[in-house]
Amino acid sequence: MTTAEQPVISWITFIAAGVVGAVVGSFLNVVAHRLPRGESVVFPPSRCPRCGARIRARDLVPVLSWVLLRGRCRDCGEPIHWQYPVVEGITGLLWMGVAWRYGWSWETVLGLVFVSFLVVLSAIDLWEWILPDALTYPLAAVALLGRAWIGPEPWWWYAGGAALGAGVLLGLRWLSPLLFGKEGMGLGDVKLMIGLGGMTGISGAVLILFGASVSGLIGGLILMALKRLDTSGRLPFGPFLAFGGIAAYLFGSDLWVFYLSMAGWGNRQ
Ligand SMILES: [Zn+2]
Protein backbone atom coordinates (compact mmCIF):
# COMPACT_ATOMS: atom_id res chain seq x y z
CA MET A 1 0.00 0.00 0.00
CA THR A 2 1.44 3.32 -1.03
CA THR A 3 1.37 6.27 1.32
CA ALA A 4 -0.27 9.11 -0.56
CA GLU A 5 1.44 12.43 -0.20
CA GLN A 6 -0.68 15.12 1.36
CA PRO A 7 -1.68 17.81 -1.18
CA VAL A 8 -1.83 21.45 -0.18
CA ILE A 9 -5.14 23.26 -0.72
CA SER A 10 -6.01 26.88 0.01
CA TRP A 11 -8.27 27.89 2.89
CA ILE A 12 -10.80 29.16 0.34
CA THR A 13 -10.99 25.71 -1.27
CA PHE A 14 -11.28 24.04 2.11
CA ILE A 15 -14.12 26.32 3.29
CA ALA A 16 -15.86 26.13 -0.12
CA ALA A 17 -15.81 22.32 0.08
CA GLY A 18 -17.60 22.55 3.44
CA VAL A 19 -20.23 25.01 2.20
CA VAL A 20 -20.99 23.11 -1.01
CA GLY A 21 -20.98 19.85 0.98
CA ALA A 22 -23.59 21.24 3.40
CA VAL A 23 -25.80 22.29 0.46
CA VAL A 24 -25.45 18.79 -1.00
CA GLY A 25 -26.29 17.52 2.49
CA SER A 26 -29.66 19.27 2.40
CA PHE A 27 -30.38 17.45 -0.88
CA LEU A 28 -29.28 14.17 0.75
CA ASN A 29 -31.88 14.85 3.46
CA VAL A 30 -34.54 15.00 0.78
CA VAL A 31 -33.27 11.76 -0.78
CA ALA A 32 -33.13 10.01 2.62
CA HIS A 33 -36.68 11.15 3.36
CA ARG A 34 -38.32 10.43 0.01
CA LEU A 35 -36.45 7.53 -1.60
CA PRO A 36 -37.68 4.83 0.85
CA ARG A 37 -41.26 6.04 0.11
CA GLY A 38 -40.73 5.78 -3.62
CA GLU A 39 -41.25 9.54 -4.09
CA SER A 40 -39.43 11.74 -6.60
CA VAL A 41 -36.32 13.32 -5.11
CA VAL A 42 -36.62 16.36 -7.42
CA PHE A 43 -40.30 17.41 -7.26
CA PRO A 44 -42.04 18.90 -5.44
CA PRO A 45 -39.74 21.39 -3.70
CA SER A 46 -39.30 21.03 0.08
CA ARG A 47 -42.43 21.64 2.15
CA CYS A 48 -43.21 21.60 5.83
CA PRO A 49 -44.59 18.10 6.55
CA ARG A 50 -47.32 19.56 8.82
CA CYS A 51 -48.64 22.76 7.27
CA GLY A 52 -47.44 22.14 3.70
CA ALA A 53 -45.91 25.61 3.40
CA ARG A 54 -43.15 25.68 0.84
CA ILE A 55 -39.76 26.30 2.49
CA ARG A 56 -38.54 29.78 1.52
CA ALA A 57 -35.18 30.16 -0.24
CA ARG A 58 -33.73 32.13 2.67
CA ASP A 59 -34.65 29.29 5.04
CA LEU A 60 -32.76 26.74 2.95
CA VAL A 61 -29.30 27.79 4.19
CA PRO A 62 -27.84 24.56 5.59
CA VAL A 63 -27.50 24.29 9.39
CA LEU A 64 -27.78 28.09 9.90
CA SER A 65 -31.47 28.28 8.96
CA TRP A 66 -32.33 25.55 11.40
CA VAL A 67 -30.42 27.32 14.19
CA LEU A 68 -31.92 30.76 13.38
CA LEU A 69 -35.44 29.30 13.26
CA ARG A 70 -34.69 27.44 16.52
CA GLY A 71 -35.60 24.18 14.81
CA ARG A 72 -39.16 25.21 13.95
CA CYS A 73 -41.21 25.80 10.79
CA ARG A 74 -41.52 29.54 10.10
CA ASP A 75 -45.23 29.18 9.30
CA CYS A 76 -46.72 26.76 11.80
CA GLY A 77 -44.01 26.41 14.46
CA GLU A 78 -43.87 22.62 14.07
CA PRO A 79 -40.45 21.29 15.20
CA ILE A 80 -38.09 20.40 12.34
CA HIS A 81 -36.18 17.23 13.11
CA TRP A 82 -32.53 17.65 14.15
CA GLN A 83 -31.69 15.02 11.55
CA TYR A 84 -31.76 17.80 8.92
CA PRO A 85 -29.00 20.09 10.25
CA VAL A 86 -26.97 17.07 11.44
CA VAL A 87 -26.93 15.49 7.97
CA GLU A 88 -26.03 18.86 6.42
CA GLY A 89 -23.23 19.46 8.94
CA ILE A 90 -21.76 15.96 8.63
CA THR A 91 -21.81 16.14 4.82
CA GLY A 92 -20.02 19.51 4.95
CA LEU A 93 -17.34 18.12 7.29
CA LEU A 94 -16.83 15.01 5.15
CA TRP A 95 -16.47 17.11 1.98
CA MET A 96 -13.84 19.19 3.81
CA GLY A 97 -12.09 15.99 4.85
CA VAL A 98 -11.94 14.65 1.28
CA ALA A 99 -10.75 18.01 -0.11
CA TRP A 100 -8.08 18.24 2.58
CA ARG A 101 -6.90 14.68 2.00
CA TYR A 102 -6.88 14.55 -1.81
CA GLY A 103 -6.79 18.17 -3.05
CA TRP A 104 -7.76 19.05 -6.61
CA SER A 105 -7.86 15.61 -8.20
CA TRP A 106 -10.10 12.98 -9.78
CA GLU A 107 -9.68 11.10 -6.52
CA THR A 108 -11.51 13.94 -4.77
CA VAL A 109 -14.37 13.80 -7.29
CA LEU A 110 -14.75 10.08 -6.63
CA GLY A 111 -14.34 10.58 -2.88
CA LEU A 112 -17.05 13.27 -2.66
CA VAL A 113 -19.52 10.96 -4.42
CA PHE A 114 -18.47 8.10 -2.12
CA VAL A 115 -18.97 9.97 1.18
CA SER A 116 -22.28 11.47 -0.03
CA PHE A 117 -23.65 7.99 -0.76
CA LEU A 118 -22.57 6.87 2.71
CA VAL A 119 -24.32 9.80 4.43
CA VAL A 120 -27.66 9.11 2.77
CA LEU A 121 -27.39 5.32 3.25
CA SER A 122 -26.59 5.78 6.96
CA ALA A 123 -29.50 8.17 7.45
CA ILE A 124 -31.95 5.77 5.77
CA ASP A 125 -30.63 2.76 7.69
CA LEU A 126 -30.90 4.63 11.01
CA TRP A 127 -34.50 5.75 10.47
CA GLU A 128 -35.96 3.07 8.20
CA TRP A 129 -33.78 0.02 8.90
CA ILE A 130 -33.09 -0.63 5.23
CA LEU A 131 -30.25 -0.05 2.80
CA PRO A 132 -32.08 0.35 -0.54
CA ASP A 133 -30.72 -1.45 -3.60
CA ALA A 134 -31.36 1.82 -5.47
CA LEU A 135 -28.35 3.22 -3.54
CA THR A 136 -26.11 0.24 -2.68
CA TYR A 137 -25.85 -0.99 -6.29
CA PRO A 138 -24.97 2.42 -7.77
CA LEU A 139 -22.40 2.92 -4.99
CA ALA A 140 -20.80 -0.44 -5.84
CA ALA A 141 -20.71 0.52 -9.53
CA VAL A 142 -19.25 3.98 -8.82
CA ALA A 143 -16.56 2.47 -6.57
CA LEU A 144 -15.47 -0.37 -8.86
CA LEU A 145 -15.64 1.60 -12.13
CA GLY A 146 -14.02 4.65 -10.53
CA ARG A 147 -11.17 2.51 -9.22
CA ALA A 148 -10.71 0.71 -12.55
CA TRP A 149 -10.42 4.19 -14.07
CA ILE A 150 -8.13 6.08 -11.68
CA GLY A 151 -6.54 3.34 -9.56
CA PRO A 152 -3.98 3.92 -8.07
CA GLU A 153 -3.72 0.16 -7.39
CA PRO A 154 -4.56 -2.46 -10.07
CA TRP A 155 -8.27 -3.26 -10.51
CA TRP A 156 -8.01 -6.68 -8.83
CA TRP A 157 -6.95 -5.03 -5.57
CA TYR A 158 -10.35 -3.32 -5.38
CA ALA A 159 -12.35 -6.24 -6.81
CA GLY A 160 -10.60 -8.34 -4.16
CA GLY A 161 -11.58 -5.86 -1.44
CA ALA A 162 -15.21 -6.00 -2.53
CA ALA A 163 -15.18 -9.82 -2.65
CA LEU A 164 -13.40 -10.18 0.70
CA GLY A 165 -15.60 -7.70 2.57
CA ALA A 166 -18.89 -8.90 1.12
CA GLY A 167 -17.78 -12.54 1.48
CA VAL A 168 -17.04 -12.16 5.19
CA LEU A 169 -20.40 -10.46 5.84
CA LEU A 170 -22.19 -13.10 3.78
CA GLY A 171 -20.44 -15.78 5.85
CA LEU A 172 -21.53 -14.06 9.08
CA ARG A 173 -25.08 -13.82 7.76
CA TRP A 174 -25.05 -17.54 7.12
CA LEU A 175 -23.32 -18.47 10.40
CA SER A 176 -25.17 -16.26 12.82
CA PRO A 177 -28.46 -18.24 12.98
CA LEU A 178 -26.33 -21.33 13.72
CA LEU A 179 -24.17 -19.62 16.37
CA PHE A 180 -26.53 -17.12 18.00
CA GLY A 181 -29.91 -18.44 16.93
CA LYS A 182 -30.88 -15.17 15.30
CA GLU A 183 -30.61 -13.30 12.06
CA GLY A 184 -27.42 -11.26 11.90
CA MET A 185 -26.32 -9.28 8.91
CA GLY A 186 -28.86 -8.04 6.38
CA LEU A 187 -28.29 -8.51 2.65
CA GLY A 188 -28.22 -4.71 2.41
CA ASP A 189 -25.08 -4.70 4.58
CA VAL A 190 -23.46 -7.22 2.23
CA LYS A 191 -24.30 -5.06 -0.82
CA LEU A 192 -23.02 -1.92 0.92
CA MET A 193 -19.77 -3.73 1.69
CA ILE A 194 -19.23 -4.38 -2.05
CA GLY A 195 -19.01 -0.61 -2.55
CA LEU A 196 -16.88 -0.04 0.56
CA GLY A 197 -14.38 -2.80 -0.26
CA GLY A 198 -14.42 -1.83 -3.93
CA MET A 199 -13.46 1.72 -3.01
CA THR A 200 -10.74 0.96 -0.44
CA GLY A 201 -9.26 -2.32 -1.70
CA ILE A 202 -8.22 -5.41 0.23
CA SER A 203 -6.43 -3.58 3.05
CA GLY A 204 -9.38 -1.18 3.36
CA ALA A 205 -11.88 -4.03 3.58
CA VAL A 206 -9.95 -5.54 6.51
CA LEU A 207 -9.90 -2.15 8.30
CA ILE A 208 -13.62 -1.63 7.67
CA LEU A 209 -14.65 -5.05 8.98
CA PHE A 210 -12.54 -4.45 12.08
CA GLY A 211 -13.60 -0.81 12.58
CA ALA A 212 -17.31 -1.52 12.03
CA SER A 213 -17.26 -4.45 14.48
CA VAL A 214 -15.54 -2.45 17.20
CA SER A 215 -17.63 0.72 16.72
CA GLY A 216 -20.81 -1.39 16.44
CA LEU A 217 -20.00 -3.15 19.69
CA ILE A 218 -19.25 0.14 21.49
CA GLY A 219 -22.35 1.78 19.99
CA GLY A 220 -24.49 -1.18 21.05
CA LEU A 221 -23.16 -1.11 24.61
CA ILE A 222 -23.75 2.66 24.89
CA LEU A 223 -27.32 2.31 23.62
CA MET A 224 -27.87 -0.60 25.98
CA ALA A 225 -26.58 1.46 28.92
CA LEU A 226 -28.89 4.33 27.91
CA LYS A 227 -31.72 1.79 27.48
CA ARG A 228 -32.27 3.06 23.96
CA LEU A 229 -31.90 -0.31 22.26
CA ASP A 230 -35.21 -1.86 21.19
CA THR A 231 -36.28 -5.19 22.69
CA SER A 232 -34.93 -7.29 19.82
CA GLY A 233 -31.51 -5.86 20.60
CA ARG A 234 -30.99 -5.20 16.90
CA LEU A 235 -28.90 -2.33 15.70
CA PRO A 236 -28.67 -1.07 12.12
CA PHE A 237 -25.16 -2.00 11.02
CA GLY A 238 -25.01 0.25 7.92
CA PRO A 239 -23.90 3.42 9.76
CA PHE A 240 -21.05 1.52 11.42
CA LEU A 241 -19.93 0.07 8.09
CA ALA A 242 -20.12 3.58 6.62
CA PHE A 243 -18.08 4.95 9.52
CA GLY A 244 -15.45 2.26 8.96
CA GLY A 245 -15.49 2.97 5.22
CA ILE A 246 -14.88 6.70 5.70
CA ALA A 247 -12.12 6.08 8.25
CA ALA A 248 -10.42 3.58 5.92
CA TYR A 249 -10.83 5.91 2.96
CA LEU A 250 -9.42 9.03 4.62
CA PHE A 251 -6.90 7.51 7.05
CA GLY A 252 -6.30 3.96 5.75
CA SER A 253 -2.51 4.04 5.52
CA ASP A 254 -2.17 5.85 8.87
CA LEU A 255 -4.44 3.29 10.53
CA TRP A 256 -2.32 0.43 9.23
CA VAL A 257 0.86 2.07 10.53
CA PHE A 258 -0.88 2.53 13.90
CA TYR A 259 -2.17 -1.07 14.19
CA LEU A 260 1.12 -2.59 13.06
CA SER A 261 3.06 -0.52 15.58
CA MET A 262 0.59 -1.59 18.29
CA ALA A 263 1.35 -5.18 17.28
CA GLY A 264 5.05 -4.46 17.74
CA TRP A 265 5.92 -4.46 14.04
CA GLY A 266 6.64 -0.77 13.76
CA ASN A 267 9.90 -0.60 15.71
CA ARG A 268 12.15 -2.51 13.37
CA GLN A 269 14.02 0.36 11.81
ZN1 LIG B 1 -45.14 24.29 8.95
CA of 26 to the centre of ligand 1 (A): 18
CA of 79 to the centre of ligand 1 (A): 8
CA of 76 to the centre of ligand 1 (A): 4
pLDDT(3) > 60: no
Give the torsion through C-alpha atoms of 183, 204, 116, 218, to 10 deg: 50
> Greater confidence, 226 or 153?
153
CA of 61 to the centre of ligand 1 (A): 17
When the pLDDT of each residue in the chain is averaged and rounded to a whole number, the result is: 88
Q: In this predicted model, what pLDDT tens digit does every residue of 65-81 receive, in sequence order?
A: 888 888 898 888 888 88
Mean pLDDT within 161-179:
90
Close Cβ partners of 125 (under 8 Å, ≥ 6 residues apart): 131, 188, 236, 237, 238, 239
- Which has the minimum average pLDDT: 125-134, 148-157, 249-258? 249-258
Residue 2 pLDDT grade (very low, low, confident, very high; cuts 50, 70, 90): very low
pLDDT(236) > 80: yes
CA of 68 to the centre of ligand 1 (A): 15
CA of 46 to the centre of ligand 1 (A): 11
Q: In this predicted model, what pLDDT tens digit does every residue of 24-60 receive, in sequence order?
A: 999 999 999 889 888 888 777 787 877 888 888 888 8
Please report how many Cα atoms fall inside a 13 Å half-sphere around the Cα of residue 188, on the Cβ side.
19
Look at residues 265, 263, 254, 269 and name the one whose alpha carbon lies nearest to residue 101.
254
Q: In this predicted model, what pLDDT tens digit does every residue of 93-130 receive, in sequence order?
A: 999 999 999 999 999 999 999 999 999 999 999 988 89
Q: Which residues pair with 79 in a beta bridge?
A: 72
User: Cα separation of 174 and 192, whole Å?
Assistant: 17
User: Cα separation of 248 and 18, whole Å?
Assistant: 20
Close Cβ partners of 1 (under 8 Å, ≥ 6 residues apart): 153, 201, 203, 252, 253, 256
pLDDT in the model for residue 233: 64
Residue 137 pLDDT grade (very low, low, confident, very high; cuts 50, 70, 90): very high
Mean pLDDT within 225-245:
82
Mean pLDDT within 243-250:
95
CA of 227 to the centre of ligand 1 (A): 32
Q: Does the predicted TM-score (pTM) go above 0.75?
A: yes
pLDDT(269) > 60: no
Residue 232 pLDDT grade (very low, low, confident, very high; cuts 50, 70, 90): low
Q: In this predicted model, what pLDDT tens digit does every residue of 204-215 receive, in sequence order?
A: 999 999 989 888
Phi, psi of 41 (to 5 degrees): -90, -5
CA of 141 to the centre of ligand 1 (A): 39
pLDDT in the model for residue 187: 92
CA of 174 to the centre of ligand 1 (A): 46
pLDDT in the model for residue 156: 96
CA of 81 to the centre of ligand 1 (A): 12
Close Cβ partners of 175 (under 8 Å, ≥ 6 residues apart): 184
Q: Which residues of 96-115 are buried (b: 16+ CB within 10 A; e: fewer)?
A: bbbbbbbbeeebbebbbbbb
Close Cβ partners of 268 (under 8 Å, ≥ 6 residues apart): none
CA of 2 to the centre of ligand 1 (A): 52
